[in-house]
Chains A and B, each alone.
Chain A
Amino acid sequence: MQFKDYYQTMGVARDATPDDIKRAYRKLARKYHPDVSKEPEAEARFKEVGEAYEVLRDPDKRAAYDQLGADWKSGQEFRPPPEWGARSAAAGPTDFSDFFEALYGRGTPGGSGERTRFNLNGEDQHARLVINLEDAWKETTQTLTLRSPEFDEQGRVTLRERTLNVRIPRGVRPGQHIRLAGQGASGIGDGKRGDLYLEIGFRQHPLYRIKDLDVYLDLPLAPWEAALGASLKLPTPDGTVELKVPPDTPAGRKLRLKGRGIPANPPGDFYAVAQIALPPASDPAATAVYRQMSEHFHAYNPRAGLGV
């Protein structure tokens, strides 16, 4: 396993005071909090920082970590000495690295020897599921892997990896949550399993933008198509459709395809936003056409609205 330099993760010196460490943690937590941050690796960084803080905030854990010495480098191959079992028990199930677990163990609530019979409902679990935008137009099945705490008959906690296949209903949109009853953490004794909540996100799409239930597409038009009107094909997440562009369509005009947005109830709309694309004046014949236009439209001032 790889050594983790918790001081480096937190950006503090090895002799940092508890106050320094707390301050560094709060700063990093605000920066990388998945609800706040738009940084690409925010969630992974947030977990790393959380793990580092879990160790450095606790004097016992920090002392144990410091005993390893200052010569280790982050990412260096690390093999824990055999006399370390789990030296001190961490409380409850963790989602920390192998390195952390080798140092501090996974922990056993209530100690492994005593057997208390009690029933407790499992906690609800939360996860984020990012899907392709097109998946909202059809019913798809997504496969995801979760690590969730399980209690065995002795009441010990282990992290178990589970793979779930989940049907994603048509018409789902970003920010919605799918609740899967009874798929959360397991209960203790006769306690019920919690529920699993999946927050849906869409991957960024090269063509489409989403606002609420509506879909936007930039639609490039040749000058003569915009001026004369045209019947053309355009892509939508649901497949290719025909669109009639009316004559004299200016750039920026939104052409609406009603009901072609996200197929919720009621469905959103699809907007093609007109853009004017110019063929290059790259040869004498093309140049001649532009010159002819310029002569014909000599009275036309596209900047009339600018007052110059």
Chain B
Amino acid sequence: MSRKDREYEAVLSGVIVEEQSALTLIEVSRACAVEVEWVVELVHEGVIEPGGGQQPDWIFPGRQLRRALTARRLQQDLGLNLAGVALALQLLDEIAELRQRLEVPDSK
């Protein structure tokens, strides 16, 4: 059996990132394929919010990773600076909220 066939048959199981409660600074930067400093800047810009004390002890809830990943794509693809990324994300949040209210009008 070729390597490809074996891979086809195996069923992989993963973990839901957002349900992991604690990602370290290193883990977030690795998942985003960026330098640690970039994640630190993202925190200083208020794009993502860590819990757990001062910088080396920062702990990120899994859902903050999603924001960090989106921020990275926006910055790379659209040539935005971090302040621009922060603004774009804030507006995207508002649009998502409005869209949801449009779709589920009585869910407020």
Interface residues of chain A, those whose CB is within 8 Å of chain B, are 26, 29-30, 33-36, 46, 50, 123-124, 126, 141, 162-167, 169, 172, 175-181, 183, 195-199, 209, 211, 214, 216, 252, 254, 271, 273
Pick the contact of B30 from A124, A166, A199 — CB < 8 Å?
A124
Q: With A35-B70, A178-B17 as given contacts, are A167 and B78 in contact (CB-CB < 8 Å)?
A: no
Beyond A172-B16, A178-B15, whether A36 also contacts B92 by CB under 8 A is yes
In chain B between 1 and 36, which residues have their CB closer than 8 angstroms to a CB of chain A?
A: 4, 7-19, 30-31, 33
Interchain CB contact under 8 A, B106 and A252: yes
Inter-chain CA distance A165–B8, complex, in Å, is 7
Once the chains bind, are A35 and B73 in contact (CB under 8 Å)? Answer: yes
Q: Roughly how many angstroms separate A35 CA and B18 CA in the complex, as a whole number? A: 18
B100 to chain A, nearest CB (A): 6
| A-B contacts, 5 listed (Cβ < 8 Å) | A26-B79, A33-B74, A164-B7, A177-B69, A179-B15
8 A-B pairs besides A26-B78, A177-B62, A209-B104 with CB distance below 8 A are: A163-B8, A167-B13, A169-B16, A176-B19, A177-B16, A177-B69, A180-B12, A197-B31
Give the complex CA separation of A46 and B76 in angstroms. Answer: 13
Complex contacts, A172 vs chain B, CB 8 Å: 16
**Interface size of B by Cβ–Cβ distance < 8 Å?**
35
**A197–B8 alpha-carbon span in the complex (Å):** 18
A254 to B106, CA, bound (A): 8
* Minimal beta-carbon separation of A24 from chain B (angstroms): 13
CA distance A34 to B12 in the complex (A): 27
Within 8 A of A (CB), among B59-80: 62-63, 65-66, 69-70, 73-74, 77-79
Check if A181 sits within 8 Å of B14, measured CB to CB: yes
A36 to chain B, nearest CB (A): 7
Interface residues of B (CB under 8 A from A): 4, 7-19, 30-31, 33, 62-63, 65-66, 69-70, 73-74, 77-79, 88, 92, 100, 103-104, 106-107
Taking the closest CB of chain A, its distance from the CB of B47, in whole angstroms, is 13
Interface of A is mostly: strand
If A35-B70, A35-B73, A36-B92 touch, does A179 touch B17 (CB 8 Å cutoff)?
Answer: yes
* B21 CB, min distance to chain A CBs, angstroms: 13
A211 to B12, CA, bound (A): 28
Query: Given A124-B33, A162-B7, are A211 and B14 also a contact pair (CB < 8 Å)?
Result: no
Q: Which residues of A contact B92 (CB under 8 A)?
A: 35-36
Cα of A35 to Cα of B92 in the assembled complex, Å? 9
Counting chain B CB atoms within 10 Å of each CB, the highest count among A36, A141, A164, A166 belongs to: A36
How far apart are the CA atoms of A234 and B103 in the complex, in Å? 20
Shortest beta-carbon distance, B13 to chain A, in Å? 5
Task: Please give the distance in Å from A206's CB to the nearest CB on chain B.
Answer: 13
Q: Is B9 in contact with A176, judged by CB distance below 8 angstroms?
A: no
In the complex, residue of chain B having the shortest beta-carbon distance to the beta carbon of A196? B14
Query: Could you say which residues of chain B place their CB within 8 Å of the CB of A165?
Result: 8-12
* A166 contacts B106, C-beta separation under 8 Å: no
Residues in A with CB closer than 8 Å to B65 are 177
